[in-house]
Amino acid sequence: MIHHIPNILTKQQVAEFRALMDTAQWVNGKVTAGTLSASVKHNQQLSEQDPLTHHLSDLVIQAIWNNPAFQTAALPHHIIPPLFNRYDEHESFGFHVDNSIRLIRGTSQQMRTDLSCTLFLSEPEEYDGGDLVIEDTYGYHEVKLPAGDLVLYPSTSLHEVSSITRGSRFASFFWVQSLVRDDTKRHLLFNLDETVRSLRIQHGDGYPEVVKLTNIYHNLMRMWSEV
């Protein structure tokens, strides 16, 4: 399931990120690519060792942990600290699949990548091309979101960033290990939670169906979560 999560960052926060990134030193994006994906990866990113990466990463982590829509859709257990990339003219990242296991930065802890995340830091009108293209059983989905918005999608998906033909595209990217590994189960829980939220707004927390569906939600979490 592909989820569009709006307003992870405010426009002011995006502007502050971009001001800092405009003065940064960028390195070849291949440094975090696997052997196969490195052959089709042509972009730039902030070094994982750069203090700016750590600073911006902490701000993104804080924002996503405080975002109810992200929490509902991802059910995060572990989050790889976010990284930051840019694509200038003629740069792209061809179709690839993300590594299934990654190290959490600064530790020896390995993490399974269930969900991939792209947080857009450029407005769509700032660049041409540069669509995030995600393949699933229903075909190809082109994603180009407003700055501050995030797309969340299964890491099992083949995906690419198409070639930039004008301007520059800035983004943050990271991965999530979910409490619920299976995408279908996670999507059922998402729909159930959204239904409960809607009923609470319409009828209040004491409405019998709210109580019953909340009970079902938590019992499914007990059954399916890996904690």
Three-state SS across 140-184? EEEECCCCCCEEEEECCCCEEECCEEEECEEEEEEEEEECCCCHH
Q: How far apart are the first and last CA of the chain?
A: 22
pLDDT at 137: 85
**Mean pLDDT in residue range 138-149:** 96
CA neighbor of 5 nearest in space, from 78, 67, 85: 67
Residue spans per domain, the chain: 3-178, 183-224
pLDDT at 37: 78
Q: Any idea which fold 3-178 has?
A: Jelly Rolls (2.60.120)
pLDDT at 106: 83
pLDDT at 33: 73
Which residues contribute to the annotated binding site for Fe cation? 96, 98, 159
Measure Cα distances from 33 to 4, 39, 94, 97, 114 in Å: 25, 9, 12, 10, 17
Which residues contribute to the annotated binding site? 96, 98, 159, 169
pLDDT at 36 over 80: no
Contacts of 18 (CB under 8 A, 6+ apart): 121, 170
Percent of the chain with pLDDT over 90: 90
Centre a 10 Å sphere on the Cβ of residue 94 and count the other Cβ atoms it contains: 14
CA neighbor of 93 nearest in space, from 10, 29, 139: 29
Residue 89: alpha-carbon gap to chain centroid: 24
Report the CATH architecture of 183-224: Irregular (4.10)
pTM here? 0.94
pLDDT at 64 over 90: yes
pLDDT at 225 over 90: yes
Which residues contribute to the annotated binding site for 2-oxoglutarate? 169
pLDDT at 45: 97
**Mean pLDDT in residue range 106-129:** 96
Lowest mean pLDDT among 59-63, 88-92, 103-107, 193-197: 103-107
pLDDT at 30: 84
